[in-house]
């Protein structure tokens, strides 16, 4: 194997994260090849970015480090049918999320180093921060260390992404997987979406205009989240009115209370014992019937129609969308629609 400092890297997948990883690593001086399904939606994009594009089987054959940046539910088939038979002896296998390894859906070959590197930000931010000389913090973990240098490989890869410029935190596959799933379900996606919808419904059912309800429970949420992002709850309290602060203190615990926390614990337990993943795998294998129904229900919620009309009048959003459309359209379409193909390109 080449030195840890400059391993030959195969990036499998060229969605939001895959593209950012490949570009940052190349700009950091690494030899990077991209593995994609021939004729797939991102093959031309990777080639336009100047990468040598091969089939995944060809890409991993001579790679010292293979970064698997495809959707969770295609990784098992991808690994078993394509990667495992073609990975060279003693290579390092890298994931950006530990779900498949932690829950035993992928059992890596015994000769491989197996690590995880997860930037704590979307691909566009990972790339943008790197380009201006900064970096997005990364967490990393080692699942299997056959060479005695697995942690070095993880740190080297994270450094190539720009993560070492910001912060590197060591974790485990278990911790990364379970906390990531919990955050998505209880707070970031499931919790936040349900809270916004419930707030909108409460105001509209009480006779208030849907447009006003939208502004109060969804539009202005960005202002609060930005303050959280910049300086935590303390910064948010510094910038909202005393009236808002008092409402926070007396009403927040009425909405999110001990019963809510108990349900969060139930969600965490189902993640920890594998119940959630078992259900998700069964849903995926069945062709996503409930997934599609849930997704359509969210799209059909009245807040979406109101929001679409209001956002059309927000010129700053239209300008931002126009400037990003050309570079992100293909990746966004792939990411929004889970693929049943074993070599999906999205991260």
- Distance (Å) of CA 127 to CA 17, 19, 29, 158, 162: 9, 8, 15, 13, 9
3-state secondary structure of 306: helix
Q: Is 123 annotated as a binding residue?
A: yes
37 is in an annotated binding site: yes
97 is catalytic: yes
Among positive and negative, which fits the CA dihedral 145, 176, 222, 321?
positive
Rg (CA), the chain: 22
Q: Sign of the CA dihedral 251, 253, 254, 256? A: positive
Whether 16 has a binding-site annotation, put simply, is yes
Q: Can you tell me the distance from the alpha carbon of 289 to that of 44, in angstroms, rounded to the nearest whole number?
A: 32
**Catalytic choice (21, 97, 102, 143):** 97
Give 249's contacts (C-beta < 8 A, 6+ positions apart): none
User: 92-95 and 32-35 as β-strands: parallel, antiparallel, unpaired?
Assistant: unpaired
> Is 149 labelled a binding residue?
no
42 labelled binding-site residue: yes
Q: Is 270 annotated to bind ligand?
A: no
Helix, coil or strand: residue 154: helix
| 3-class secondary structure, 64 | coil
For the annotated binding site, the residues are: 14-17, 37, 42, 123, 180, 184, 216, 220, 241
> Which residue ranges make up the annotated binding site for substrate?
241
Residue ranges of the binding site for Mg(2+): 180, 184, 216, 220
Residues annotated in the binding site for NADP(+), as ranges? 14-17, 37, 42, 123
Positions annotated as catalytic residues are 97
């Amino acid at each position: 194997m080449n030195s840890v400092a400059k391993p030959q890297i195969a990036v499998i997948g060229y969605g939001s994260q895959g593209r950012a990883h490949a570009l940052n690593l190349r700009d950091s001086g690494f030899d990077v090849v991209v593995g994609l399904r021939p004729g797939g939606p991102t093959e031309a994009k990777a080639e336009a970015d100047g990468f040598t594009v091969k089939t995944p089987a060809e890409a991993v054959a001579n790679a010292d480090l293979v970064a698997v940046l495809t959707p969770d539910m295609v990784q098992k088939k991808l690994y078993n049918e394509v990667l495992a038979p073609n990975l060279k002896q003693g290579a390092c296998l890298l994931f950006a999320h530990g779900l498949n390894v932690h829950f035993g859906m992928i059992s890596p070959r015994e000769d491989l180093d197996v690590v995880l590197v997860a930037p704590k930000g979307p691909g566009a931010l990972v790339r943008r921060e790197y380009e201006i000389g900064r970096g997005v913090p990364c967490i990393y973990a080692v699942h299997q260390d056959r060479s005695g240098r697995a942690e070095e490989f993880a740190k080297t890869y994270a450094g190539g992404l720009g993560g070492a410029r910001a912060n590197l935190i060591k974790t485990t596959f278990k911790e990364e997987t379970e906390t990531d799933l919990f955050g998505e379900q209880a707070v970031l996606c499931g919790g936040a979406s349900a809270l916004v919808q419930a707030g909108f419904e409460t105001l509209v059912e009480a006779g208030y205009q849907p447009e006003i309800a939208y502004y109060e429970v969804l539009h202005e949420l960005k202002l609060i989240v930005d303050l959280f992002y910049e300086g935590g709850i303390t910064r948010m309290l510094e910038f909202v009115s005393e009236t808002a602060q008092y409402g926070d203190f007396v009403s927040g615990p009425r909405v999110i209370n001990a019963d809510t926390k108990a349900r969060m614990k139930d969600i965490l337990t189902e993640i920890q014992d594998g119940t959630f993943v078992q259900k998700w795998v069964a849903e995926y294998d069945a062709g996503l019937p409930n997934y599609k129904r849930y997704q359509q229900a969210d799209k059909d919620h009245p807040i979406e129609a109101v929001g679409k009309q209001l956002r059309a009048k927000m010129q700053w959003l239209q300008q931002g969308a126009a400037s990003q459309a050309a570079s992100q359209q293909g990746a966004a379409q792939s990411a929004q629609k889970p693929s049943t193909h074993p070599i999906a390109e999205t991260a």
